[in-house]
Structure 1
């Protein structure tokens, strides 16, 4: 009887982890977040329910970045088929975001548990605010030295551009935060690409996922080297992440994403408040 109950608990935990990977990847792919901003707090807050034991923040981040590789790859492949990825701009952003993700990953474990929750909670509140503010902000009108064009599915040609040094600086900052929190960095990449460099939103989301894929490989490698990756959790989350990455990219091509964005904003606020409360309790 006891063995049967244990098997049932294992099956329930596995199903919950698959669903977590699926939901996080769908959200992440639609808005270019990568899903880590859902996976990391969920693993820290729901560790006992999902695995029967608490999950420390460094392991949550390392595990999230490993799963992020799969999510971002699935999304990138789908977006590439739709010809929505600006690979040239993506590789340039990766020049700084990749090494910075490694530095951020190395710093994760140095933050104390309560401090990490507090900082991450505040960061998530800022991300929710940014996701709200970007609906009311207009792209900066400036003639950047590097000019690019993109023709969407409706035959409309969009012109956007950037300067190399500002773009590399953006990659550096986003990569550092990505490695530190295990979130992929799309929550910062997409608004900056849209508002500062005038990328079309769908192109920004797709290109962001490509950069996230590359940076996550380096960031997760550092966490794995430091022993901060739970490979059993990765295996449980990957199936849902792969399906969710492709599903999210497909949904993004069929909708404006406004309702999903509002659901994501509310989710971020609720998770952030819980993390901040828990962070204060652990100080």
Structure 2
């Protein structure tokens, strides 16, 4: 029964994650922390939840990237430039996780989850400023309808922001897309579908780098990962399919509601524990 639950968690988290570019860890980590209270899963610490989540996201990122490549919506150049910051940031974040006990982790993670829910609320209400060419990276993208988008970013700002996102990913095991996607859309003027696809492309190598660090620290539970990975692979393809077929407003509303409830619960546990 436990294996079925883990498989379903992997499918649900990865589907939502690849649909809107979050990566899935925002669901996997709270789910694993919740399972820690169930007999047979008491060995799950925050560090194990984070390490196992990041390892699982390697397959979410790979599966999503392969699927988005078929739609030709991945901006490889920008993703690789952002990786200059997110790679080192994820390593640092993985080491910082080691210093957090359960209550501190719950408190900080709960606050972060509430922040993500606010970002999801504002993402569709805020509009990017008109794009102005500046010294830095300038990109163009033509979608399937023939419409051409022009976007770009200052290289230093892009690497700095991606370092912060990578650090958060390494600490909480969430992939970083929850912050990177809105940043790419609102600050760097990316078309939304390109931002989501490029975020998933970034999550793949960033998760590998973070996972290597967590593996060396002994934070990956291989049995849990074995149960989560098939769901992550299946769910990533489901999310990409839904991204091309559905408007994600309803999904975002549902996810936002779940995050608020989970975030408040984690903060409560962190304070009262």
TM-score, L = length of structure 2: 0.97
Which residues in structure 2 correspond to 1:100-249 (within 5 Å)?
Answer: 100-143=89-132, 144-145=134-135, 146-249=137-240
Deviation of residue 151 (structure 1)? 1.1
Where does structure 2 lack aligned partners over 5 or more consecutive residues? none
TM-score, L = length of structure 1: 0.93
1:96 is aligned to 2:85? yes
Please give the secondary structure, in 1, of the residue aligned with 2:245. Answer: coil
Question: 2-side partners of 1:142 and 1:129: how far apart?
Answer: 25
Please give the secondary structure, in 1, of the residue aligned with 2:125. Answer: coil
The match for 1:15 is 4
| Kept in 2: contact 1:63–1:229 (CA 8 A) | yes
Deviation of residue 109 (structure 1)? 1.4
Task: Say which one has the larger Rg.
Answer: 1
1:25 is aligned to 2:14? yes
Give a deviation string over 1:76-113, Cα, whole Å, max 9, x none: 00001110100000000001101110110111010121
User: Number of matched residues?
Assistant: 271
More displaced 10-residue stretch of structure 1: 153-162 or 69-78: 153-162
Deviation of residue 51 (structure 1)? 4.4
Question: 1-side partners of 2:177 and 2:231: how far apart?
Answer: 20
The match for 1:55 is 44
The match for 1:69 is 58
Deviation of residue 255 (structure 1)? 1.6
Where does structure 1 lack aligned partners over 5 or more consecutive residues? 1-11
Question: 1-side partners of 2:81 and 2:207: how far apart?
Answer: 16
